[in-house]
Amino acid sequence: MDSFIVISLIKTLVVFAVLMTTLAYLQWVERKVIAHIQVRPGPYRVGPHGLLQPLADIIKLLTKEDLLPPYVNKPLYLLAPFLAITMALLSISVIPFGPEIQVAGYKTYMQLTDLNIGVLFVLAVSSMGVYGIALAGWSSNNKYALLGGLRSSAQMISYELPMSLAIAAPLLISNTLSLRGLVEKQAGGIWNWNVLHGPFPQIFSFIIFLIAAFAETNRVPFDLPEAENELVAGFHTEYSSMKFASFFMAEYANMITVSCMATLLFLGGWVAPWPAEYGSSFVPAVIFAFAGVVALYHGFHPARRRDGYTLPVFGVLFLIAAGVFLLPLVQSWLIPLFWFCAKTGGILFGFMWIRGTLPRFRYDQLMGFTWKFLFPVAMLNLLVTGFLVALGS
């Protein structure tokens, strides 16, 4: 019992620290990705390749003046950012990152807690996240903020329907609501993942889920609640300092959550694309070694002056990482973690790619798209899946 509490505390601390770092650096990655899409270097001044930029941003946000406008509804104005960030961080507690592992004689799962209604928990928590944005918009007592909050709540209610229907279809195949159970059902290889497996491959629900996820997290091309050319900054117009940062962090935490959910529901979680006996456990080492060699090559043929010092360091670090992946001692938990992070990271990259390339929808297009197209398609997909599962059983 005592060891359970200690292990849970340690796991919570580790997950919290990793999540917070990821949140800070996701911002850096996004700026870099969009910058390279637009053929410019992106953050480059603070630290090598702008790697200390997140730290600078945090210091800036913490030391900014915390304004409290006199015309706001004070209790709800203060409650809203708190609600948004709490609900965004809460759902990470049921996400499994890997299988059961053994650390210093204790067996534990790479997951904070496994609920037998894990999928429903994530849905419930994310549906509560709407309040943060809606209340922020309303309590600011500002027409732009109010319009942003209204747009956001209407959009999130509308896209929750196709999203829930898209989640229900793979659940019919896997026959469980526990997130760990979902992954265990998809074990074996890429042909067992829900996106390709089953009586009816869930490729349509995967796409519907991703589209709805973009709308649920208020990302481009569905970022109407903060459309800057119409609404200044939307629901967080009146917020500054750490309260603004809470909304910002909530958006990124929600992105991570939906990417994790897509990975777990459709892409087999931490399962490798093909079994280890055909050499899938060497893939991470090969990828890191390749990245290291590329970095070393560009370090010795630098395009910019400073690259001559920084890229060889990165190259050596990547080669060390490749070596670590070959150690049998850590392979049992590092390789599942690698696959999980690779899949989630791939989806997160998709978020950034689309932000860099697509324009914003018009509001009536946004609503018409979900009610007239996405919702019927999700319904049809669920019906066909249910019918085929019933026939097969």
Task: Give the one residue of 150, 294, 377, 384 binding another protein; rule: CB under 8 A.
Answer: 150
How many residues interact with another protein (rule CB under 8 A)? 27
What ranges make up the beta strands (E) of the chain?
Answer: 98-103, 106-110
* Residue whose CB is less far from another protein, 33 or 95: 95
* Residue whose CB is less far from another protein, 43 or 149: 149
Q: Say how many CA atoms lie within 13 Å of 6 toward its Cβ.
A: 6
CB of 130 to another protein, least distance (A): 5
* Residue whose CB is less far from another protein, 115 or 294: 115
User: Which parts of 103-142 interact with another protein (CB under 8 A)?
Assistant: 115-117, 120-121, 123-125, 127-128, 130-131, 134-135, 137-138
Task: Give the one residue of 160, 216, 223, 251 binding another protein; rule: CB under 8 A.
Answer: 160
* Residue whose CB is less far from another protein, 128 or 283: 128
Amino acid at 124: A
Q: Give me the DSSP letters along 287-303.
A: HHHHHHHHHHHHHHS-S
CB of 141 to another protein, least distance (A): 11
Task: Give the one residue of 153, 202, 217, 237 binding another protein; rule: CB under 8 A.
Answer: 153
* Residue whose CB is less far from another protein, 128 or 287: 128
Q: With contact defined as beta carbons under 8 Å apart, do 122 and 257 qualify?
A: yes
Per-residue x/- mask for another protein, residues 304 to 343, rule CB under 8 A? ----------------------------------------
**Interface region with another protein, contact rule CB under 8 A, candidates 39-47, 152-160, 186-194, 358-366:** 152-160
Task: Give the one residue of 50, 54, 149, 170 binding another protein; rule: CB under 8 A.
Answer: 149
Q: Using a CB cutoff of 8 Å and minimum separation of 24, what contacts does 108-115 make?
A: 108/7, 108/11, 109/180, 110/270, 110/333, 110/336, 110/337, 111/179, 111/180, 112/8, 112/11, 112/12, 112/15, 113/8, 114/178, 114/179, 114/180, 115/178, 115/179
CB of 227 to another protein, least distance (A): 18
Q: Is 154 in the site for another protein (CB under 8 A)?
A: yes
Neighbour-count burial of 212, counting CB atoms closer than 10 A to its CB (0-12 exposed, 13-18 middle, 19+ buried): buried
Q: What is the DSSP letter of 372?
A: I
CB of 313 to another protein, least distance (A): 48
Buried b (16+ CB within 10 A) or exposed e, 325-356: beeeeebebbbbbbbbbbbbbebbeebbeebe
The whole-angstrom separation of Cα 318 and Cα 43 is 21
- How far is CA 130 from each of CA 144, 211, 354, rounded to the nearest angstrom? 17, 18, 23
Q: Is 76 in the site for another protein (CB under 8 A)?
A: yes
* Residue whose CB is less far from another protein, 137 or 234: 137
- How far is CA 315 from each of CA 21, 140, 224, 287, rounded to the nearest angstrom? 22, 49, 41, 12
Query: What residues line the site for another protein (CB under 8 A)?
Result: 73, 76, 115-117, 120-121, 123-125, 127-128, 130-131, 134-135, 137-138, 146, 149-150, 153-154, 156-157, 160, 177
